[in-house]
Amino acid sequence: MPSPVDAPILTADAMRAAEAACAASGTSLATLMERAGAAVADFAWRMAAGNPVLVLCGPGNNGGDGYVAARWLARRGVHVRVAALAEPASELARAARRAWGGPVEVLGDDLAPAPLVIDALFGVGLSRPLRKDLAARLRGLAKRRVLAVDVPSGVEADGVQPWAPALSADVTVALGALKPAHVLLPAAATCGKVVLAPIGIEAQSSLRTLPRYECDSPGAAAHKFSRGMALVRAGPMRGAAGLAASAVLRAGAGYAILSGASGAPLSAIIAEDGDHFAERLADERLGAVVIGPGYPASDALDRDVAAALKSGRALVLDAAAIVSALPRLGGAPAILTPHAGEFARAFPGLEGSKIDRARAAASKSGAVVIYKGADTIVAAPDGRIAAAWPGCPWLATAGTGDVLAGACAAMLARGDEAFDAAVAAVSWHISRARAIGPGLVADDLVRA
């Protein structure tokens, strides 16, 4: 289910800093908790649709949000029960529990469930995995609808640790801003639909969710070259390069050349065998070059990559071309499109979340990195990052990466700078895949 579009994502530390800034500018944490609990109650009220609700409260402020939500739900006439894991450990949570004023059950083995469970056990303060006995007890509630407060309890908010929650959520209400866990696997898959409750926090971040894909139509005076020209260099597997060249046209460039192939899947593509690559690279109208689709590591690949680098053109480097080009990139405008295996080969030894590693790879290489996967991350050397969860699972099929590389070249050739081009290409790719849906094969992405 789509996440909030072009929304800021804050790590736990950034969230605490934003909360502190909010408090310093006159909005107390108690006010933020009141807004958080009220927002949770509002979503829960709609999910419960008149049925009873059970709120599970932890010891920290996530639990505090739970007590506030319970009070708001009771005020709206919902039959609501509260069960606590432990006494509140923060002053804010203690105050929220006092204000709830109703009974508090013990979260034990004999806890009676309810049709809707609000998981307010742990949020961004989780510092270790859930205890096994608690996890087992929670799994007993798994058949109920679950609304998670901020993150499903057990998930580490920054997406560095792969800790699993015991209860996957149907809906997660992100408080103040999204967290990395909402967009990175494995946690993101346990969040269900993520909705954002802004609660008045000034959330600013260069790390954001993907913007919506907007297709600008060409200007009235457009011609094929003004819409952008891109060159795809074919290796031994011509089909992959053909998909990339097709994507150049479908994603909106005006002119596509497939170099090193005698035929192309679309008649509109200029396919040329023989040795015209250097000549094409010298064409002033050329906006972008793709190398890598269907082109395994070889001396020929190294030679072609060297020629492309020398031309000074904007490059899209995929698969083996990434490792081939890396030592020689030297700040050339480039988009790298590794999947997990290629990323590990190109950037060994990086640590942290997928976001941290993509950021480090972009900074190290000086190129824009599209770290592909079901939770694709786009990172620029200047620190801008876009997270593309949820993508479209139908994209998990051969050849879709070749199409993405071609789409990147189209956006570059159309005049976007590298990060904007990469973000637009990822967004185009996902929106196209969603429109096609079940049974998608890569060729469908480049059909009319």
Ligand X SMILES: NC(=O)C1=CN([C@@H]2O[C@H](COP(=O)(O)OP(=O)(O)OC[C@H]3O[C@@H](n4cnc5c(N)ncnc54)[C@H](O)[C@@H]3O)[C@@H](O)[C@H]2O)[C@H](O)CC1
Q: Is 65 in the site for ligand X (CB under 6 A)?
A: yes
**Is 150 annotated among the ligand-binding residues?**
yes
Q: How far is the CB of 79 from ligand X (least distance, A)?
A: 24
CB of 446 to ligand X, least distance (A): 43
Q: Does 27 bind ligand X (CB under 6 A)?
A: no
Told to check if 265 binds ligand X by CB under 6 A, we report: no
**Quick check: 36 binds ligand X (CB under 6 A)?**
yes
Q: Contact with ligand X (CB under 6 A): which of 44, 69, 82, 126?
A: 126
128 binds ligand X (CB under 6 A): yes
274 known member of a binding site: no
Query: Is 75 labelled a binding residue?
Result: no
Tell whether residue 127 is a contact of ligand X (CB under 6 A).
yes
User: Measured from the CB atom, is 86 or 340 closer to ligand X?
Assistant: 86
Which string of x and - marks every residue 88-107 that binds ligand X (by CB under 6 A)?
Answer: -xx-----------------
171 binds ligand X (CB under 6 A): no
- In the complex, the residues that contact K ion under the rule CB under 5 A are 119, 148-149, 153
59 binding ligand X? (CB under 6 A) = yes
User: For the chain, how long is the longest CA-to-CA vector?
Assistant: 81
Place of tokens 């060994």: 348
Closer residue to K ion, CB minimum distance, 153 or 365: 153
**Contact call for residue 14 and ligand X (CB under 6 A):** no
Under rule CB under 6 A, residue 124 binds ligand X:
yes
Please pick, from the candidates 7, 9, 14, 32, the single residue that binds ligand X as defined by CB under 6 A.
32
Minimum CB distance to ligand X smaller for 200 or for 415: 200
138 is a site residue for ligand X (CB under 6 A): no
Any binding-site annotation on 416? no
Point out the annotated binding site: 61-65, 119, 123-129, 150, 153
Point out the annotated binding site for (6S)-NADPHX: 61-65, 123-129, 150
Judged by the rule CB under 6 A, the positions of this chain that interact with ligand X are 15, 19, 29, 32-33, 36, 58-65, 89-90, 122-128, 130, 149-150, 175-176, 199, 201
Point out the annotated binding site for K(+): 62, 119, 153
